[in-house]
Amino acid sequence: MGNHGYKGNIFPVNPKYEEIEGIKCYPNTASIPSEIDVILVAVPEQSVISVLEEAGKAKVKSAIIYSAGFSEIGEEGKRKQQKIKQIAGESGMLICGPNCVGIIGFHHKIAMSFSQFLDASKLIPGNIAFISQSGALGGALLNRIQDQSIGISYFISTGNEAVLESSDFMEYLLNEPSTTVMMALIEGIKDAEKFLRVADLAIRKKKPIVVMKVGKTESGGKAASSHTGSMTGSDRVYDAVFKQKGILRVDEIDDLYLTASALAKCRRPRGNRVGIITTTGGGGVILTDKLVEMGMDIPALSPDTAAKLKETKASFGIVSNPLDLTAQVVNDPLLFPKSIESFVQDENLDIIVVALAMVGGEKSRERASYIIQASHATEKPIVTWWASGSLSTPGMKMLEESQVPLFTSPHRAVEALNALVQYSQFLRNYNDEGKPTISSSVDNPLKNMTFLSTSYGSLTEDEGREILSYYGIPIPKGGVSKNLEEAKKIASKLGYPLVLKIVSPQIKHKTEAGGVKLNIRNEEQMVGAYQDIMRSTMNYKPDAEVKGVLVQEMVPPGKEVIVGMTLDPQFGPMVMFGLGGIFVEILKDFSLRHAPLRERDAWEMVKEIKGYKILEGFRGEKQADLGAIVSTLLTLSRMAIDLKNVFSEVDINPLVVYPDRGGVKAVDCLFIRKREADKEVVG
Amino acid sequence: MGNHGYKGNIFPVNPKYEEIEGIKCYPNTASIPSEIDVILVAVPEQSVISVLEEAGKAKVKSAIIYSAGFSEIGEEGKRKQQKIKQIAGESGMLICGPNCVGIIGFHHKIAMSFSQFLDASKLIPGNIAFISQSGALGGALLNRIQDQSIGISYFISTGNEAVLESSDFMEYLLNEPSTTVMMALIEGIKDAEKFLRVADLAIRKKKPIVVMKVGKTESGGKAASSHTGSMTGSDRVYDAVFKQKGILRVDEIDDLYLTASALAKCRRPRGNRVGIITTTGGGGVILTDKLVEMGMDIPALSPDTAAKLKETKASFGIVSNPLDLTAQVVNDPLLFPKSIESFVQDENLDIIVVALAMVGGEKSRERASYIIQASHATEKPIVTWWASGSLSTPGMKMLEESQVPLFTSPHRAVEALNALVQYSQFLRNYNDEGKPTISSSVDNPLKNMTFLSTSYGSLTEDEGREILSYYGIPIPKGGVSKNLEEAKKIASKLGYPLVLKIVSPQIKHKTEAGGVKLNIRNEEQMVGAYQDIMRSTMNYKPDAEVKGVLVQEMVPPGKEVIVGMTLDPQFGPMVMFGLGGIFVEILKDFSLRHAPLRERDAWEMVKEIKGYKILEGFRGEKQADLGAIVSTLLTLSRMAIDLKNVFSEVDINPLVVYPDRGGVKAVDCLFIRKREADKEVVG
């Protein structure tokens, strides 16, 4: 621990030794003649509890437990880990681990870790905090990260997170001035509410969080009866929450630290317009491919820039973006800095990427220094992609140690740029207006719906319709008939064409049961349809309790979408949106957000599905009433918060959407109760 | 050029010098007293032609032209380049370039290049040939590649490809024994037929070709009137051709050489079942995520392996795949080699991935040597992912110099593994049976279709139907009526329900023109529909020549798909398949192959679209007649070859597919003629 220059007191504890590496050793924590900030627990697993208990008595403030053999090995380990939690609760001790490789403070040279990474010759301090649930992988990456001169403020291996979890450390780091960017390698989040709170704080503090969340393919295995329920696997939920909270999710390990480094080094770009300067035409094409794929803009240069560049060198060839300097740059060395300067001044560009190929030795230092100089004179991010290898080390090292991010892969460069752009955009669009409205209390009409506290399983459609009505979601006209005569009466009031649907708490999938008849055009057809329904449903489920038949107006056709709510076991109420039928079921083309939604979230949900073009109108069709969808999603969000203790899943399927400002109609709905919480209603 | 040990003769040519670097210099090529294998042309662009002419006269066998200033700078440059081509034709000289950085032969130390890469201390020979259209980028990558001890046979910078193009070099390399794998960085292919021929030869020689094709986002800008035509951008065409020919396309630069290296080092795996041994649990999860995403299998270990591993170490914890060795591996160093050995012997596994974390110094060498030893004793590919950095250099270097591929990114490792698996699978499935049948001559019935040589623009539907009939593609019954009376007669033969469609060479989009009436149930409705059609189409296009009205049986509903043919400007006839409507138009969910198709190609086309599940049957529906689709695609392929000089686009939209063995029906078709070649019919 002292190897890296830590100057504070260290007290080894071991009953067998008098001293360790020349430092006096104590038989136990109690015998240390000093207040203890933190103990590092590296004893066999069976001694951990007694060491902690002793430390608790000695008023030790915190502990880092390296020892393994807890929740990661199964049930017995979980019980022992519970005991750690209990000691923390009783003693007030802050505990990191168990099964972690510890914590390293790079600024204060506090190396409280047993990671072999500490064999590195020096610790490079910086502004990025690195939180890793995986200790072994975290330590390995630290080595790679610091090889590239990327500075770190803290490395925190959280291990099994018996007490302190990733979010706790993030919260600390948000208030810790040396950290400006956080990156986290996690498999999951324990306390979702805490995480959401910390994420909100991170937005206010403008400190970006880059996350690599692994374990995408875990099969949730959750049985779900509604579309919404079955469509929302936990990884999609994480994706949705991250997006909503401006957390930058990356898919590859290299993107984790390279993106964090770009965020730590660069100012926030004003937009997504990228200028490319390259000494290799092919490199310019590769960058263009990837930038376009990520939705970035590669605009034309301003006439000013073009004129300046043409003047710089008459035989320049083609002046465009990407700007290919060709071998010309060898004959005219000033072409390089002049081009960068013109790009920096071009008001059409927000970001500049410089692509370098095979430039070695002293020449590589010259190129690097031109780039670094230019970066000092502008607020625009300048990033570099250098395609060659060891021959360019001199220049690469200069860039690594500068404020200019260096990438050896164009793909990693563009991923990081995209994160920069996304984060800046998120902060720009984020404001406290447009905050979601939540019904803080549920008023009488909802309380009067006795079925909310008495029935079980799923609601019948007429009950669901009552809730939708209360929330102001448009539904087709209609009513429940107890017999054919009543049905005829309702029909004569509504007029034809009509729809008949069975109403039975035991029949959730009405169409499957033969309990739905569409497009009934007159009384004669209705009589037949009524009898058919009765016969089919009787065959389908002879013991079903039939409450009647819903007689409903047949609404005109429109675009069919699904909106829904599901309770995620971790994050709670999630709102879902997608196009009807195969889009959601087969193509998994749906969007998801955590409730409560802001209006912006709802608009994003509508626009981010692949099938959005269908709603926009194609082949000369009119645009669907997008505003009405957004308002339905916001209402559903409110409903989700109000009723999250009553229902685990809500589907409105289909919600028919009409063109222009024609609104929506919830043509069918399914409300599925939570088993455990049948009687609670919020409010 | 002599720096790297080349022992042959070098003759500098320059009229101004007597000698260069101690070697006698000649005023011109003619004065060299020896047969010349190759001249390196590094003169200003304006002297290139005269140098070549002189060389031609001196019977020089080949030339590499470094000089730039040709087709890359515009029209004038293109003309000059044409002259180079002409000299090559007249003299028989093989010419590489212009605007290239040259050729390097790594085994013979022939460094015929001006790339600064040659500053490297040594050339590492190997089995991978690297062909790059971009010289600057190619040279830069060579430096990076050789830093990782990846050996190269030849580096060939093809430049503007005035004469020799990438395919020519590939053809040479396929017959060159030191090269076993080729990788190519290309923006495009000049001679598509030559490329296809070389690709076939590569399959026979079992030499894999890894390609990074850049320039994905070029906007084809091709106006197309059919669905098939508008859906097939040139990058999708490249994708299709590569897939069909077993060419491994990569998207990232690092994948290019890492995949090539894995292919050069590893034997072909027997399947896609991967065993993961890891010292970091998190690393195992990351590999799993990516392997599952790529469609690889991570099977359970065989009972034998599980038993052996449990015996090896009782306190092992969980024995599973991925196998997490945990910190246990430090206490029991033999656990590592024993685990690898058990995995190698497990008949459930085809490939083994070993993930290493923070292991430094001598320990890293120990781990590496265990892996290398294991790899000698098995035919199964073993690959490694090492997450740490410079502290593990000793072990990493050992792996780099061994036959075990080393990756520092799990994503790159899995991409390379996937390529290994795909290529092996391709070779296994490839055989000369199932070769496509092509009508070598078109016989009389087709010749009798006078409209093939007389009409212009697009065919009318009845003409299209005649072609479909000839090829045996099922169409609905029907006939063209010249007037209402004829229509009634045809109707009475066919029976109701019926469809009426306008027949006019000037009306391509019949529905838009109001020229289609569906579901006509009786004669009365037909009379009205007939008159409606006449009125609407008259309004739509008053000068349209109306040849009549097609009276057609209304076929029962089924799944609607689109099959089509389009002529790619480079590759020629391509066959396309997709689901009807929004799937193709909005989601771009279609598959494409170059004609002629093999039966396997057709099956792949059907199965690779995202909407395949819809054809398979979902929600209890029956499977659509996939065999009938495949056979239609094969017929279309035959038709594409026969008629590629007549039609530029053919659409069958919709082709209605019935369940089980119910077959298909081509309900509508559109044949669009090539403008230039209206009168040629193959055969």
Question: Model confidence over B494-544: pLDDT tens digits?
Answer: 999 999 999 998 888 888 889 999 999 999 999 999 999 999 998 998 998
CB contact under 8 A, B390 and A143: yes
Q: Which of B140, B143, B613 sits opposite A586 (nearest CB)?
A: B613
Q: For residue A507, name the pLDDT band (cuts at 50, 70, 90).
A: confident
* Residues with Cβ within 8 Å of residue A404, at least 6 apart in sequence: A265, A371, A372, A375, A382, A383, A384
Co-location of A592 and A501 in the same domain = no
Task: Name the minimum distance, in Å, from the CA of B67 to any CA of chain A.
Answer: 10
- Tell me, letter by letter, the H, E, C secondary structure of B439-452: CCCCCHHHHCCCHH
* Residues with Cβ within 8 Å of residue A85, at least 6 apart in sequence: A162, A163
pLDDT of residue A91: 95
Q: Find the residue in A nearest to B283 (Cα).
A: A137
Per-residue DSSP letter, A250: -
A56: tokens are: 């608790």
CB contact under 8 A, A119 and B388: no
CB contact under 8 A, A389 and B147: yes
Residues forming a β-bridge with B578: B562, B590
Q: Does A357 touch chain B (CB under 8 A)?
A: yes
Q: Find the residue in A nearest to B71 (Cα).
A: A317
Co-location of A544 and A565 in the same domain = no
A401: tokens are: 């140690």
In a domain, B228, yes or no: no
Among B534, B550, B520, residue whose Cα is nearest residue B460: B550
What is chain A's length?
683
DSSP β-ladder status, A248-249 and A274-278: unpaired
Question: Model confidence over B193-245: pLDDT tens digits?
Answer: 999 999 999 999 999 999 999 987 653 333 445 555 555 568 899 999 999 99
Q: Does A285 touch chain B (CB under 8 A)?
A: yes
Tokens 């209304």 belong to B554
pLDDT of residue A220: 33
CB contact under 8 A, B140 and A360: no
**Cα A616 to Cα A618: distance, rounded to the nearest angstrom:** 7
Co-location of A349 and A419 in the same domain = yes
How big is chain B by its Cα radius of gyration, in Å?
31
Per-residue DSSP letter, A74: -
The answer, yes or no, to whether the previous bond of A654 is cis (omega within 30 of 0) is yes
pLDDT of residue B140: 97
Q: Find the residue in B nearest to A143 (Cα).
A: B389
CB contact under 8 A, A327 and B288: no
Phi/psi for B215 (5° steps) reads: 85, 45
In a domain, B222, yes or no: no
Q: Does A97 touch chain B (CB under 8 A)?
A: no
In this prediction, residues A276-301 reach a mean pLDDT of: 94
In a domain, A528, yes or no: yes
In this prediction, residues A51-74 reach a mean pLDDT of: 93
Which residues of A, range 466-525, sit inside 8 Å of B by Cβ?
A: none
Question: Model confidence over A520-539: pLDDT tens digits?
Answer: 999 999 999 999 999 999 89
B578 pLDDT more than 50: yes
CB contact under 8 A, A214 and B408: no
Set of chain B residues whose Cβ sits within 8 Å of the Cβ of A254? 409
Share the mean pLDDT of chain A: 91
Instruction: Return the percentage of chain A with pLDDT > 70, whole number.
Output: 93
CB contact under 8 A, A137 and B251: no
pLDDT of residue B506: 85
Co-location of A189 and A337 in the same domain = no
Distance (Å) of CA B303 to CA A19, B299, B345, B525: 50, 12, 12, 72
Last residue of a domain, one of B532, B553, B574: B553
Question: Model confidence over B349-388: pLDDT tens digits?
Answer: 999 999 999 999 999 999 999 999 999 999 999 999 999 9
Question: Model confidence over A562-607: pLDDT tens digits?
Answer: 999 999 988 999 999 999 878 888 888 999 999 999 999 999 999 9
**Cα B452 to Cα A536: distance, rounded to the nearest angstrom:** 56
Task: Name the minimum distance, in Å, from the CA of B582 to any CA of chain A.
Answer: 8
In a domain, B249, yes or no: no
Co-location of A400 and A329 in the same domain = yes
Poorest-confidence range of B323-327, B357-361, B661-665? B323-327
Q: Find the residue in B nearest to A291 (Cα).
A: B217
CB contact under 8 A, B117 and A358: yes
Share the mean pLDDT of chain B: 91
Alpha helices, DSSP H only, in A346-447?
Answer: 361-376, 393-400, 410-429, 444-447
Q: For residue A455, name the pLDDT band (cuts at 50, 70, 90).
A: low
Residue A617, domain extent: 559-673
In this prediction, residues B239-259 reach a mean pLDDT of: 97
Co-location of A17 and A125 in the same domain = yes
pLDDT of residue B66: 96
* Residues with Cβ within 8 Å of residue B195, at least 6 apart in sequence: B166, B167, B189
pLDDT of residue B616: 92
Helix pair B281-293, B410-429: axis angle to 10 deg: 40
C-alpha atoms less than 13 angstroms from C-alpha of B397 in its C-beta half-sphere? 10
In this prediction, residues A65-82 reach a mean pLDDT of: 91
pLDDT of residue A453: 75
Co-location of B579 and B494 in the same domain = no
Which residues of A, range 563-592, sit inside 8 Å of B by Cβ?
A: 582, 585-587
Co-location of B64 and B86 in the same domain = yes
SS3 for A468? Answer: helix
Co-location of B392 and B283 in the same domain = yes
Exposed, middle or buried, A432 (CB in 10 Å: 0-12/13-18/19+)?
exposed
What ipTM describes this predicted complex? Answer: 0.93
pLDDT of residue B681: 41
In a domain, B502, yes or no: yes
Q: Does A119 touch chain B (CB under 8 A)?
A: yes
DSSP β-ladder status, B478-481 and A323-324: unpaired
Q: Find the residue in B nearest to A589 (Cα).
A: B587
Q: How many domains does chain A fold into?
A: 4
**Cα B577 to Cα A414: distance, rounded to the nearest angstrom:** 33
In this prediction, residues B64-69 reach a mean pLDDT of: 94
**Greatest CA separation for chain A:** 101
In a domain, B467, yes or no: no
**Cα A277 to Cα A273: distance, rounded to the nearest angstrom:** 13
Co-location of A329 and A416 in the same domain = yes
**Cα B254 to Cα B140: distance, rounded to the nearest angstrom:** 12
Task: Name the minimum distance, in Å, from the CA of B231 to any CA of chain A.
Answer: 15
CB contact under 8 A, B358 and A216: no
In a domain, A541, yes or no: yes
Question: Model confidence over B152-204: pLDDT tens digits?
Answer: 999 999 999 999 999 999 999 999 999 999 999 999 898 999 999 999 999 99
CB contact under 8 A, A409 and B251: no
DSSP β-ladder status, A406-407 and A382-386: parallel
A679 pLDDT more than 50: no
CB contact under 8 A, B409 and A254: yes
CB atoms within 10 A of CB B226: 24
A221 pLDDT more than 80: no
In this prediction, residues B77-101 reach a mean pLDDT of: 96
Higher pLDDT, A96 or A677: A96
A622: tokens are: 């009119």
A224 pLDDT more than 50: no
Helix, strand and coil percent figures for chain B, each rounded to 5:
40, 20, 40
CB contact under 8 A, A289 and B326: no
Q: What is the distance between the terminal CA atoms of chain B, rounded to a whole angstrom?
A: 55
pLDDT of residue A97: 94
Handedness of CA B24, B25, B30, B31 (dihedral sign): negative
In a domain, B53, yes or no: yes
**Cα B494 to Cα B471: distance, rounded to the nearest angstrom:** 23
CATH of the domain at A208: 3.40.50.720
Among A532, A508, A506, A507, residue whose Cα is nearest residue A518: A532
CB contact under 8 A, A216 and B281: no
**Cα B341 to Cα B339: distance, rounded to the nearest angstrom:** 5
**Cα B125 to Cα B176: distance, rounded to the nearest angstrom:** 14
Among B500, B520, B519, residue whose Cα is nearest residue B510: B500
Instruction: Kindly state the helix (H) or strand (E) to which residue B352 belongs, with its residue range.
Output: strand B351-356
Co-location of A421 and A327 in the same domain = yes
Q: Find the residue in A nearest to B212 (Cα).
A: A286
Phi-psi region of A92 (alpha: psi -120 to 50; beta: other; left: phi over 0): left
Handedness of CA A296, A297, A298, A301 (dihedral sign): negative
**Cα A84 to Cα A95: distance, rounded to the nearest angstrom:** 8
CATH of the domain at B629: 3.30.470.20
pLDDT of residue A619: 74
Set of chain A residues whose Cβ sits within 8 Å of the Cβ of B142? 358
**Cα B640 to Cα B648: distance, rounded to the nearest angstrom:** 9
Tokens 């009389």 belong to B444
pLDDT of residue A680: 41
Co-location of A497 and A630 in the same domain = no
Among B588, B512, B546, B562, residue whose Cα is nearest residue B239: B588
Torsion, Cα B20 B26 B32 B35, to 10 degrees, reads 40
Q: For residue B38, name the pLDDT band (cuts at 50, 70, 90).
A: very high
CATH of the domain at B318: 3.40.50.261
A495, amino acid identity? G
Set of chain B residues whose Cβ sits within 8 Å of the Cβ of A145? 389
Cβ–Cβ under 8 Å, residues B446 and B452: yes
Last residue of a domain, one of B522, B553, B584: B553
Phi/psi for B445 (5° steps) reads: -50, -40
Last residue of a domain, one of B533, B553, B573: B553
